[in-house]
Chains A and B, each alone.
Chain A
Amino acid sequence: MRTLFFLLRKEFLQIFRNKLILRMIFALPVIQLIILPNAATYEVKNITLSVVDHDHSEYSRKLINKFTSSGYFKLADYSDTYNQALDQVEKDNADLIVEIPKGFEGDLLRESETKILFAANAISGQTAGLAVAYANSIVKDFNSDIRSEWISPTRFNALPIIEITASNWFNPQMNYKKFIVPGVLALLVTLVGFLMSSLNIVKEKEIGTIEQLNVSPIKKYQFILSKLIPFWLLGLMVMSIGFLISFIIYGIYPEGSFWVGYLFAGIYLIALLGFGLLTSLMAETQQQAMFISYFFMLVFILLGGLFSPIENMPDWAQYLTYINPVSYFIDTMRMLVLKGSSFWDLRFNFLVIIGFAIAFNGLAIWKYKKTV
């Protein structure tokens, strides 16, 4: 026990003397939380329109107005032909082409149907999909406006209409930041826990001080603990800073209990640090350790649902998420912050993360041999 204390003292002395790490610990959360939620705009707005109006009628103009006043769209240009509009898209001046055919108003008046063409720059499939979805809902709205304008109420309900009301729960203002911030918090903790810890042991290997420790009567668990504990504390500290910044800048705080969050983060860090340890033990140089950790981290984070929902991924990717500790953390943070999920709600996640913690650390302990 005393030995552990001495080792910990050494670790902390080394960490706090390392100005670089200190700056990182504070700079990282601040920068990430400031930039990422602002940059990560999934919100699709200011979709630039290129309108090709062959009709030039009152109703075509009304429709165009509806688009521009919706808040989603911005009129970039009026083109005379479809090809001209295409040109605009090629130049990245327009995202969506709306082509209104000749006879639009006429066809409508004669009670028959008419058609509009949407052409979207679909390089980003998600943006295009949403742009078209918004466009369609505007047209639908316009359509029912016309109907109620031209048809007397009784006839209107001559046909069965299913009335759909939609509501958004947990994030009624559709605040994207609320979605991103918990994910960023998870990312922060992951970076500190994983990246930094895996470099740590390798550094001792590279320099040679690890040999000195191996020759001494230090027990395995003491060595491992002395490496885990400091970064565990750092990780939790970073998360606290993160919570603070989220609150100050975005006014976001967990609907659920803080303690659940810290408890999960604590276990999560143990798991992650175990994995970092393993990496450290397997790598020979700092460079290798860094490559390997960067590789795994990137894959875990990308597949973890930070940027895009796991449910949309193909089956094989979804199966991978089951063994991805990061995805559980991101999930937990989101549920905690936005829905106020309780410990009981999250019990499955807890179980899994405890399993990871035991597995990774067990492997690390087994692999670390003072005698080779």
Chain B
Amino acid sequence: MKQLLTFLTKEFHHILRDKRSLLVLLGLPIVQLLIFGFAITPEVRNANIAILDNAKDEITRQITNKLENSKYFDIDRTLINNEQIEKAFKSGKIKLAIVFQENFANELLHTNKAQVQIIADATDPNQATTLINYASAVIMDYQNDLNSQNKLPYTINSETRMLYNPQLKGAYTSVPGVMGMILLLISAMMTSISIVKEKELGTMEILLVSPMKPWFVIISKVIPYFIISLVNVATILLLSVFVLGLPIEGSLFLLIFSAVLYIFCALSLGILISTITDTQQAAMLISLLGLMLPVVMLSGYAFPITNMPIILQVLSNFVPAKWYIIIVKGVMIKGIGISQIWKELLILTGMTILFLSISVKRFKIRL
């Protein structure tokens, strides 16, 4: 026991003295959270658009005004002819171009039909769709105002309710993702690098020769990162609730329990990686390729899994972060309980045991 404490103290000295790394370890989650919480929102605002008004009459001016006044759009420029449209798009400044036909007001009032064209830059298809929708909505709104006395017959109205996240805050989907990624990264990557560093510098030999059991060496390396991860969990939860306004609908205890379980899983993964690599560079690169990228891509962090090709969906099952994100979304935002989450918890436990057993086997052979 005392030996363990001695080694633990050494590890803590290492970490606490490396202020720059510490800053990153504790600060990264905060930065990520704030960025994802505040910056990455699905809301459309101030999209730059261009107007090509071939009529320049009262009605087109009114519609243009309406667009300008809406929070979705900012009129960046007015165009004079069709040729300019493509150039405007190519300059990269315009996302949408609205083209009114000639004699718009006349046509509308006399033949009851006038045309307006919405051209979208479909580089980002989703953005295009969204912008077209909003623009159409604004124009339709204007049309309804015109016709306010005479309602269109046979109208189906729709009411929309946004469940769990009525304000459509981006944070709701990003916070679980950030938690999943940060914990995995810090626990797995940092642990593996810390262990491998000793191997690389040669000091691992010294440790192994000491009367301390080899397993204790590993544990003493793991515990500091465990604690840092716990600190990060606390930081993330506090920030999410008080700064980003996320709810904790479900049991806080369950939330923390699953976080601890996930951290164990990540730590054991880190240990596994350290038995495969000999240099820090290698550990880092493998962590990058084998951890960060799959986690970002396949865990459901950035993109929903259900839309991916089958083979990727299968692959995603091997990413621990995926299961953890499901748990967090469920417990934190939907408020479900252990009865619906036990499957995911079991999977995480299974992974942890698997990683540890492989590590133990390799450890005995190689180290």
A residues apposed to B, CB below 8 Å: 20-21, 24, 27-28, 31-32, 35-36, 38-46, 86, 89-92, 108, 111, 113-130, 132-133, 135-137, 139, 142-143, 146-147, 150-151, 157-172, 174-176, 178-179, 191, 195, 199, 203, 283-288, 290-292, 294-295, 298-299, 302-303, 307-309, 311-314, 317, 331, 334-335, 338-342, 345-346
| Contact, CB under 8 Å: B156 / A114 | yes
Write 9 A-B pairs (CB below 8 A) sorted by A numbering: A117-B160, A136-B158, A160-B112, A162-B140, A166-B119, A169-B121, A203-B281, A288-B18, A314-B39
For residue B96, give the distance in angstroms from its CB to the closest CB of chain A: 10
Chain A residue with Cβ nearest B285: A24
| Contact, CB under 8 Å: A303 / B39 | yes
| Contact, CB under 8 Å: B42 / A312 | yes
Q: Which residues of B contact A158 (CB under 8 A)?
A: 112, 150
Most buried by B among A91, A142, A286, A292: A286
Q: A102 to B80, alpha carbons, bound, how many Å? A: 52
Given contacts A113-B156, A164-B136, 11 further A-B contacts (CB under 8 A): A39-B298, A108-B154, A120-B161, A123-B334, A124-B172, A125-B168, A157-B111, A160-B146, A163-B116, A291-B21, A335-B123
For residue B297, give the distance in angstroms from its CB to the closest CB of chain A: 5
Chain B residue with Cβ nearest A200: B281
| Contact, CB under 8 Å: B129 / A130 | yes
Contact residues of B between 122 and 166, Cβ < 8 Å to A: 122-130, 132-133, 136, 139-140, 142-143, 146-147, 150, 152-166
For residue A290, give the distance in angstroms from its CB to the closest CB of chain B: 5
For residue A146, give the distance in angstroms from its CB to the closest CB of chain B: 5
Q: A160 to B40, alpha carbons, bound, how many Å? A: 40
Q: A122-B166, A290-B193 are in contact. Are A335 and B92 (CB under 8 A)?
A: yes
| Contact, CB under 8 Å: A31 / B289 | yes
Q: Which residues of B contact A341 (CB under 8 A)?
A: 90-92
Q: Which residues of A contact B136 (CB under 8 A)?
A: 164, 166
| Contact, CB under 8 Å: A42 / B120 | no
Chain B residue with Cβ nearest A256: B90
| Contact, CB under 8 Å: A120 / B162 | yes
For residue A311, give the distance in angstroms from its CB to the closest CB of chain B: 6
| Contact, CB under 8 Å: B161 / A118 | yes
| Contact, CB under 8 Å: B114 / A292 | no
Q: Which residues of B contact A178 (CB under 8 A)?
A: 123
B32 on interface, CB distance cutoff 8 Å: yes
Q: A290-B284, A345-B92 are in contact. Are A133 and B129 (CB under 8 A)?
A: yes
Q: Which residues of A contact B197 (CB under 8 A)?
A: 287
| Contact, CB under 8 Å: B193 / A116 | no
Chain A residue with Cβ nearest B168: A125
B58 on interface, CB distance cutoff 8 Å: no
Partner of B132, one of A91, A124, A166, A175: A166
| Contact, CB under 8 Å: B118 / A174 | no
| Contact, CB under 8 Å: A123 / B329 | yes
| Contact, CB under 8 Å: A157 / B169 | no
Partner of B304, one of A124, A125, A147, A291: A124
Q: A122-B163, A130-B126, A163-B114 are in contact. Are A168 and B282 (CB under 8 A)?
A: no
Q: Count CB-based A-B contacts (< 8 Å).
A: 333
Count of interface residues, chain B, beta-carbon cutoff 8 Å: 109
| Contact, CB under 8 Å: B143 / A172 | no
Q: Which residues of A contact B83 (CB under 8 A)?
A: none
B35 on interface, CB distance cutoff 8 Å: yes
B31 on interface, CB distance cutoff 8 Å: yes
| Contact, CB under 8 Å: B159 / A116 | yes
| Contact, CB under 8 Å: B282 / A166 | no
| Contact, CB under 8 Å: B168 / A122 | yes
Q: Which residues of A contact B173 (CB under 8 A)?
A: 123-126
For residue A125, give the distance in angstroms from its CB to the closest CB of chain B: 4
| Contact, CB under 8 Å: A121 / B163 | yes
Q: Which residues of A contact B127 (CB under 8 A)?
A: 309, 311-312
B302 on interface, CB distance cutoff 8 Å: yes
Partner of B122, one of A170, A288, A345: A170
Q: Which residues of B contact A311 (CB under 8 A)?
A: 44-48, 95, 127
Q: Which residues of B contact A136 (CB under 8 A)?
A: 133, 158
Q: Which residues of B contact A139 (CB under 8 A)?
A: 156, 158
| Contact, CB under 8 Å: A89 / B163 | yes
| Contact, CB under 8 Å: A163 / B125 | no
B358 on interface, CB distance cutoff 8 Å: no
| Contact, CB under 8 Å: B113 / A157 | yes
Q: A32-B293, A116-B159, A129-B130 are in contact. Are A159 and B147 (CB under 8 A)?
A: yes
Q: Which residues of B contact A20 (CB under 8 A)?
A: 279, 281-282, 285
Q: A262 to B329, alpha carbons, bound, how many Å? A: 43
| Contact, CB under 8 Å: A339 / B125 | no
Q: Which residues of B contact A195 (CB under 8 A)?
A: 288
Most buried by B among A43, A308, A342: A308
Contact residues of B between 43 and 82, Cβ < 8 Å to A: 43-48
Partner of B289, one of A27, A339, A340: A27
